[in-house]
Amino acid sequence: MTPLANRRYLKMNGLGNEITVLDLRGSGHIVQAAEARAIASDPRSRFDQLMVLHEPRSPGINAFMRIYNTDGSESGACGNGTRCVAWALFSDRDMASGGRQGNSLLLETAAGLLPVWRVADETFTVDMGAPRLAWEEIPLRDPFQDTRYIELQIGPIDAPILHTPAAVNMGNPHAVFFVDQLDGFDLSRIGPLLENHPIFPERANISIARVAAPDHIELRVWERGAGLTRACGSAACAALVAASRRRLTGRRATVSLPGGDLDITWRESDGHVLMTGPTELEHEGVLAPALFAGAA
């Protein structure tokens, strides 16, 4: 029987971004893609991202996190999920071991370290690190020297539906299209085509963004490996970085998604991007053994 059977999980959300938190510290088990898909198949444990906690790899780190998308693929970053993990660590004494200091945590993913601060009972700030902006770091297939504008469009050449996005890596690849109005774009149709475009060797998160004011961005996101989402923290960070680089906004803005608002700051001192937003616990559950009968 899989070690995941009868494991406790937390079903949470960050602005409606569905998050499932699973603590596997001490088990040594690494979730396989088929197991992640099995967890996502149950309406009670369904997720946009599955945040799996493992033993810390270095002193002073609370946990190493693996992040899975609905399709079982792994992601290097999930800001909304990281806030949910922080809530779990602060709320559960059994989960909170490993070096927590006051109102701060230090988490780690394959993309690097993520410092987190609690600013209110259910609100957290995540240091998402510095954006990677060079074409080979994002990565892109073609050597664009200016990733504020890359040559990509969808639709007729003389009247494209979307064109010339900015490209940013915030732990995962993002393409941000700036538009005058968000209405009229069917991301459920356009998103999969752009996510899997050959220009993105590792696929990409696809966003359409409207700059409503120098400190306000409206955003809709098709998330790599998960699809349409009510919120995506790393996409909100990428949108602010892209808008600031184009001088459409300053270095701080409220980013409004269908699920609510995130406060994003691109810090000048070290180039790190800070994301602040809420979390919500929906329920606690146990993974039924029957879920994994066909997972191999």
Q: Are residues 110 and 216 in the same domain?
A: no
- What is the reported pLDDT for 2? 82
Whether residue 173 has a cis bond before it, omega within 30° of 0: no
Q: What is the CATH number of the domain that holds 288?
A: 3.10.310.10
In a domain, 265, yes or no: yes
Looking only at the bridges linking them, the beta strands covering 49-54 and 63-69 are antiparallel
Q: Are residues 115 and 199 in the same domain?
A: no
For residues 58 and 64, what is the distance between their CA atoms, to the nearest angstrom?
9
**234 close to 15: Cβ distance less than 8 angstroms:** no
In a domain, 138, yes or no: no
Q: Are residues 232 and 288 in the same domain?
A: no
In sequence order, what are the beta bridge partners of 105?
Answer: 116
Q: Confidence class of residue 296 from pLDDT cuts 50, 70 and 90?
A: low
Q: 25-68: per-residue pLDDT in tens?
A: 999 999 999 999 999 999 999 999 999 999 998 888 999 999 99
Is residue 237 part of the annotated active site? The answer reads: no
In a domain, 181, yes or no: yes
| pTM score over 0.75 | yes
CA-closest candidate to residue 67, choices 38, 31, 100, 17: 31
Residues of the chain with pLDDT > 70, as a percent, come to 96
Q: Confidence class of residue 111 from pLDDT cuts 50, 70 and 90?
A: confident
> How far from 276 is each of 13, 48, 84, 194, 255, CA to CA, in Å?
14, 19, 12, 28, 10
Q: Are residues 228 and 160 in the same domain?
A: yes
Please check the confidence at residue 83 and state whether its pLDDT lies above 80.
Answer: yes
In a domain, 1, yes or no: no
Catalytic residue among 85, 105, 232, 253: 232
Q: Are residues 284 and 249 in the same domain?
A: no
In a domain, 137, yes or no: no
In a domain, 239, yes or no: yes
Q: Are residues 117 and 214 in the same domain?
A: no
Q: Are residues 169 and 116 in the same domain?
A: no
- What is the reported pLDDT for 1? 64
What range does the domain containing 221 cover?
153-271
In the chain, the number of structural domains is 2
Q: 198-245: per-residue pLDDT in tens?
A: 999 999 999 999 999 999 999 999 999 999 999 999 999 999 999 999
More confident residue, 23 or 95: 23
In a domain, 122, yes or no: yes
- What is the reported pLDDT for 58? 87
Q: Are residues 99 and 208 in the same domain?
A: no
CA-closest candidate to residue 109, choices 137, 78, 70: 78
Q: Which contiguous run of DSSP H or E holds residue 85?
A: helix 79-91
Q: Are residues 267 and 157 in the same domain?
A: yes
Catalytic residue among 19, 63, 67, 78: 78
Q: Are residues 107 and 166 in the same domain?
A: no
In a domain, 146, yes or no: no
Q: Are residues 159 and 122 in the same domain?
A: no
Q: Are residues 18 and 92 in the same domain?
A: yes
Q: Which contiguous run of DSSP H or E holds residue 14?
A: strand 8-14
User: What average pLDDT is seen over the chain?
Assistant: 93
Q: Which contiguous run of DSSP H or E holds residue 194?
A: helix 187-195
Q: Which contiguous run of DSSP H or E holds residue 38?
A: helix 33-41
